[in-house]
């Protein structure tokens, strides 16, 4: 019996191996493990339900499931294009050079088709939920394009990179909100606070990355914004974002739900623990999808979520009396002319 040609057998195995490697690469660049970020949708779901419990019902479970699929598809679409366009720069990073696109394992025409198809299916599902939900998920996708595509490519512009990446936070909150209702209008103060908290997390991620790379020239080759950043400037921006986040969150709490003020210490603790992690070598801050491995952070985060969630559904009239204004109220005379500054 004639033996099979070793050359043909090896060629077939190699071809199959290459195909499977490409398939795995295209699954990997969608970053399905980053779907944990969909947790940022939850406040947008819980807050309107706390205001109007009648919105809860059997249909809500199905709607939220569709919403999760839609958000995941559009977010993964953004991750795909991010991997493709960042490949030349990722090769300069000590860790990210091992990403599939940076290693050349991705078929570029297929990747672009994957990017568009995931977006189209995600938006098609979003339309079944509501027009506002579909509009918001489309904006989420457009922001991914502005963040990644030249000549805009906001990720290369210092400070703008943090602000435009973190706008995904309030967009995710809006997606949760519009999955529940399109009638109740979300407070601007809450959205801005959510945005600034996202900026706080992202600026610390930038700080951790720059600190770990060490060499400014190498860091600038990997990410253009690092040519302008210094560790000191990033920490100053972190202080600004944290202050702005707490200012707007405080405005929301005083105006809408005084009980939430009791959760402030837990929010502060979670932010402090997160900041401490940014100073560690090979910090999980650089890979948010791995933050679940940090027990102290997870404990403070879960405690914060549980307490804040419960406080949304609890009324404490005596607490409001404690914070009743004590300064005399200045009122203009009824016949006083109105002056426009």
Among 30, 36, 42, 182, which residue's Cα sits nearest to residue 111? 30
Residue 228 near residue 155, CB atoms below 8 Å: no
Neighbours of 140 (CB within 10 A): 25
Q: List phi, psi (to 5°) of 7.
A: -65, -45
Write down the domain spans for the chain: 24-186, 187-314
Q: List phi, psi (to 5°) of 10.
A: -65, -40
The DSSP output letter for 5 is P
Residue 152 near residue 224, CB atoms below 8 Å: no
Looking at the domain covering 24-186, what would its CATH class be?
mainly alpha
Residue 178 near residue 134, CB atoms below 8 Å: no
- How many CA atoms within 13 Å lie on the side-chain side of 125? 21
pLDDT score of 160 = 96
The DSSP output letter for 182 is S
* Per-residue tokens: 333: 């005379």
Contacts of 63 (CB under 8 A, 6+ apart): 129, 179, 180
* Per-residue tokens: 135: 């509009």
Residue 161 near residue 119, CB atoms below 8 Å: no
The DSSP output letter for 334 is T
pLDDT score of 335 = 61
State the average pLDDT for the chain.
89
**pLDDT per residue as tens digits for the range 233-288:** 999 999 999 999 999 999 999 998 899 999 999 999 999 999 999 999 889 898 88
Round to whole Å and give the CA distance between 35 and 286. Answer: 16
Round to whole Å and give the CA distance between 314 and 316. Answer: 7
Integer angstrom CA distances of residue 211 from 25, 64, 120, 160, 219: 29, 39, 39, 20, 9
pLDDT score of 289 = 78
DSSP 3-state percent helix, strand, coil across the chain (nearest 5): 75, 0, 25
pLDDT score of 340 = 42
Query: What parts of the chain have a pLDDT lower than 50?
Result: 1-5, 7, 338-341
Q: What is the DSSP string of 242-295?
A: HHHHHHHHHHHHHHH-GGGGGGHHHHHHHHHHHHHHHTSTT-GGGSGGGGGG-H
**pLDDT per residue as tens digits for the range 301-340:** 999 999 999 999 988 888 877 887 787 866 656 565 544 4
Q: Return the beta strands (E) in the chain as ranges.
A: none
Q: Tell me the Ramachandran region of residue 26: left when phi exceeds 0, alpha when psi lies from -120 to 50, beta otherwise.
A: alpha
């Amino acid at each position: 019996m004639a033996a099979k040609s070793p050359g043909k057998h090896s060629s077939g195995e190699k071809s199959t191996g290459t195909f499977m490697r490409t398939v795995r690469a295209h699954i990997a660049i969608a970053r399905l493990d980053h779907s944990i970020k969909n947790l940022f949708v939850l406040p947008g779901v819980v807050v309107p339900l706390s205001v109007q419990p009648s919105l809860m019902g059997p249909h809500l479970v199905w709607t939220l499931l569709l919403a999760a699929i839609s958000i995941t598809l559009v977010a993964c679409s953004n991750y795909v294009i991010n991997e493709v366009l960042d490949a030349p720069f990722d090769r300069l990073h000590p860790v990210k050079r091992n990403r599939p696109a940076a290693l050349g394992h991705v078929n570029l025409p297929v990747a672009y088709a994957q990017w568009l198809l995931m977006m189209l299916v995600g938006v098609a599902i979003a339309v079944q939920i509501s027009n506002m939900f579909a509009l918001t998920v489309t904006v989420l996708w457009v922001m991914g394009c502005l963040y990644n595509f030249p000549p805009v490519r906001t990720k290369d512009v210092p400070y703008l990179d943090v602000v435009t990446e973190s706008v995904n936070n309030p967009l995710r909150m809006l997606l949760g909100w519009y999955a529940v209702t399109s009638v109740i209008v979300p407070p601007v103060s809450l959205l801005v606070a959510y945005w600034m908290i996202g900026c706080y997390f992202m600026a610390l991620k930038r700080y951790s990355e720059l600190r770990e790379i060490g060499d400014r020239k190498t860091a600038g080759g990997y990410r253009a914004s690092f040519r302008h950043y210094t560790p000191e400037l990033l920490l100053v921006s972190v202080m600004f974002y944290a202050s702005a986040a707490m200012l707007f969150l405080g405005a929301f709490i005083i105006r809408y739900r005084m009980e939430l003020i009791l959760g402030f210490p837990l929010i502060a603790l979670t932010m402090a623990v997160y900041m401490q992690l940014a100073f560690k070598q090979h910090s999980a801050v650089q890979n948010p999808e791995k933050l679940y491995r940090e027990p102290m952070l997870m404990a403070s985060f879960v405690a914060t979520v549980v307490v804040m969630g419960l406080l949304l559904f609890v009324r404490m009239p005596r607490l409001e009396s404690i914070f009743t204004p004590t300064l005399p109220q200045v009122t203009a005379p009824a016949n006083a002319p109105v002056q426009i500054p």
